[in-house]
Chain A
Amino acid sequence: MDRRDDIDSLTLARYLSGELGPTEAAEVERWIAADPAHRELADSLRKIWSPGALPEFDPDDVLWRRIAAGVERPLPKPALVESRQTRAWPFRAPARLLTAAAAAAVLVVGGAVLLAKLRQPAAPVPMREVATRLGQRAALDLPDGSRVVLAPGSRVRFPTSFSARGPSTSRELFLEGQAYFTVRHDDKRPFRVHTSMALVEDVGTEFVVTAQTETHGTQVVVVSGAVALRRASAATSPPLLTLTRGDLARLDSSGIAILTRDVNLAPYVAWTEGSLVFDGTPLREVAPALARWYDLDVRVTDSGLAARKFTASFHYEPISQVLEVVARSLDARVERHGRSVVFAPRRPQPARVDSQ
Chain B
Amino acid sequence: MSLQPDPRGAPLGAPDSSRESRDRAWVEGIRTGDVPAFEAMFRAYKNDLGAFVTSWVHSREAAEEVIQDLFLHLWEQRHEWQLAVPLNIYLFRAARNRAIDHLRHQRVETEFQQRIARRHDEGFEPRPPLRGDEAAQAAELEDAIERAVSALPPRCQEVFRLSRYHHLSYAEVAQVMQISTKTVEVQMGRALTNLRRRLAAWRD
Contacts and interface: CB of A to CB of B under 8 A. Distances in A.
A51 B165 contact: yes
Interface stretch (B19-27, B111-119, B183-191): B183-191
B156 to A, nearest CB: 11
A31 interface: no
A27 interface: no
Given A64-B39, A64-B42, A51 B67 contact: no
A40 B75 contact: no
A297 B169 CA distance: 57
Contacts of B192: 9, 12-13, 16, 45
A30 to B, nearest CB: 19
A40 B189 contact: no
A108 to B, nearest CB: 14
Interface residues of B, number: 44
B149 A41 contact: no
A41 B203 contact: yes
A40 B202 CA distance: 11
Contacts of A70: 68, 72, 75
Interface residues of A, number: 36
Contacts of A17: 163-164, 170, 188
Contacts of A16: 192
Contacts of A49: 164
Interface in A21-74: 40-41, 44-45, 47-52, 54-58, 62-64, 66-68, 70-72, 74
B141 interface: yes
A67 B68 contact: yes
B191 A57 contact: no
Contacts of A48: 145, 148, 195-196, 199
Contacts of B67: 63
B110 interface: no
B6 interface: no
A8 B39 CA distance: 44
Contacts of B146: 51
Contacts of A19: 169-170, 185
Contacts of A10: 185-186, 188-189
B203 A52 contact: no
Contact of B145 (A11, A51, A75): A51
Nearest to B185: A10
Contact of A71 (B38, B43, B148, B203): B38
Contacts of A57: 46-47, 49-51, 63
Given A51-B165, A58-B64, 15 more contacts: A9-B193, A9-B196, A12-B189, A17-B163, A17-B164, A44-B204, A51-B142, A55-B47, A58-B50, A63-B68, A64-B39, A67-B68, A70-B75, A71-B72, A74-B76
Interface of A: 8-14, 16-17, 19, 40-41, 44-45, 47-52, 54-58, 62-64, 66-68, 70-72, 74-75
27 contacts: A9-B190, A12-B189, A13-B188, A14-B188, A17-B163, A19-B169, A40-B204, A41-B196, A44-B199, A45-B196, A47-B145, A47-B202, A51-B145, A54-B47, A54-B48, A55-B51, A57-B46, A57-B50, A57-B63, A58-B50, A64-B43, A66-B68, A67-B75, A70-B68, A70-B72, A71-B35, A72-B35
